[in-house]
Amino acid sequence: MLFPTIDFAVFFMVVFTGSWVLRPHKVAWRVFILAASLVFYGWWDWGFLYLLMASIGINWLFGLLVHRALTVDGERTPASLWLVRIAVVINLGILGYFKYFDFFVTSIAERLNSLGISMSTPVLQIVLPIGISFFTFQAISYVIDIGRGHWREPLSLLDFAVYLSFFAHLVAGPIVRASEFAPQLDHLPDPRYVKSAEAFMLIFRGMFKKVVISSFLATQVVDPVFRLPGAYGRWEVLWAIYGYAIQIYADFSGYTDIAIGIALLLGIQFPLNFDSPYAATSLQDFWRRWHMTLSRWLRDYLYIPLGGNRGSKLFTYRNLFLVMLLGGLWHGANWTFVAWGCIHGGYLVGERVVKERWVGHEIGLPPKLVTALQWFLTFNVVCVAWVFFRAQSIGGAFDILWQVVAGSGTNSGVTALLIFVIVASVASQFVPNSFPRRVELWFGRLAPILQTAGLGVGLLLIDALGPEGVAPFIYFQF
């Protein structure tokens, strides 16, 4: 069920009404939200509900066992450590089967065939359950946090089921931790003080990003150029690369804006997931602003357990590179995602080396010019990495990049409107946060009926500007 559809609008009206009617009744409200979330997830393929429910049952049980294995003071024991490891292995095993089995078997077979060893590969045609990476990472964080002694009591089965399946963040994030979500279950919000203005602004902004900007860039230049790069000149290919950088940002941040807004209307607060990432002046800064909930997850559950920066410089560099490599592989079973992770990991290491070597040295350039150059380099490195992320193969990615250097095709999809959309989208990243906040405060002073009417007019405008139909969000495949 896609957010920008009539189906979801009807679904949400039912959920919104039922949620506020039942909110004073804790058990009934939980059961209602759980049922609504299962309907939302099952809308794509009812057969995958078993996987979500199995994940809920397995991880709740391991959370309970891990908690019982801790000392009375909440300290780790050998038994609790082993239980956490087993839970992580089971979760990653399920994720790996659905997401990577065919990829690794095919890769091994191709390698053996290149060495003259014939190997037939089983064709399982495994269908990837939507959102499996997101709810698996949330489940892993819950079990690990219990193992670290961060919970006095584990969640009840019903509370954990609501947390893991909550429809707003279920299929594409943000990756919400149980410690951020569970305390809100017992909080009884006053419907008179719901942050409707903030929610409506988030929903409008998210819909505009997805339906108008992302869809326009995809159909106008990104999809045609990436489908047949040889038919386009270097100018068109360059704008297609920049266009995809904006497309994926508008698509993904648009989804999370809508998700956060929907949750707010139900009295649930989600963490921020994007903060003007294309204004970053370093790749480290970029990852503090892009998919922030995944960045925090990788830091707390992978980078720090690997040793973080507590060892030698080489040890730290290894950890940085390995985390980004695994972060790339998390996105999908393709060598293009591995290459994307390697580019980010290698550049992060390079940044560290340069900063450590040049600290305290003056380079004789005005500070503003240095900042501008840092931004330009960071933005273009990110865009080059996005080429591998978008391409279907490593060879296809290099074909795109080579066209920037030597492209001589005659097709053209670059218009003044396209350039304006891309440039304006990048420029919007530098708008101070105080400006949209002032707009939100002004909107919040309007009467609720005017707010609702304003959102309705905005959605009609988006529908008029957007194309026919709505493509799935890019991150649904992860």
Helices (H), 153-217: 157-165, 167-170, 178-181, 196-207, 215-217
> CB of 145 within 8 A of CB of 59?
no
Closest to 237 (Cα-Cα) out of 382, 79, 406: 406
> CB of 323 within 8 A of CB of 302?
yes
C-alpha 224/C-alpha 434 separation (Å) is 38
Tokens 């992580």 belong to residue: 88
Catalytic residue, from 291, 331, 344, 361: name it: 331
Give the torsion sign (CA, 56, 13, 2, 328).
negative
Residue type, 209: K
How far is the first Cα of the chain from the last one, in angstroms, to the nearest whole number?
A: 16
Q: Which residues pair with 408 in a beta bridge?
A: 233
- CB half-sphere exposure, 391, CA atoms < 13 A: 25
Burial (0-12, 13-18, 19+ Cβ within 10 Å), 72: exposed
Burial (0-12, 13-18, 19+ Cβ within 10 Å), 73: exposed
**Catalytic: 331?**
yes
Closest to 66 (Cα-Cα) out of 81, 88, 51: 81
Residue type, 111: R
> CB of 180 within 8 A of CB of 271?
yes
3-state secondary structure of 65: helix
270 CB neighbour count, 10 Å cutoff: 24
3-state secondary structure of 408: strand
Tokens 């529908």 belong to residue: 463
Give the alpha-carbon dihedral of 319, 321, 164, 271, to 10 degrees: 90
Tokens 């996105």 belong to residue: 331
Helix 196-207 and helix 434-444, axial crossing angle in degrees, nearest 10: 120
E strand or H helix at 245: helix 234-265
**What is the CA angle 385-250-8, rounded to 5?**
130
The residues carrying an active-site annotation are 331
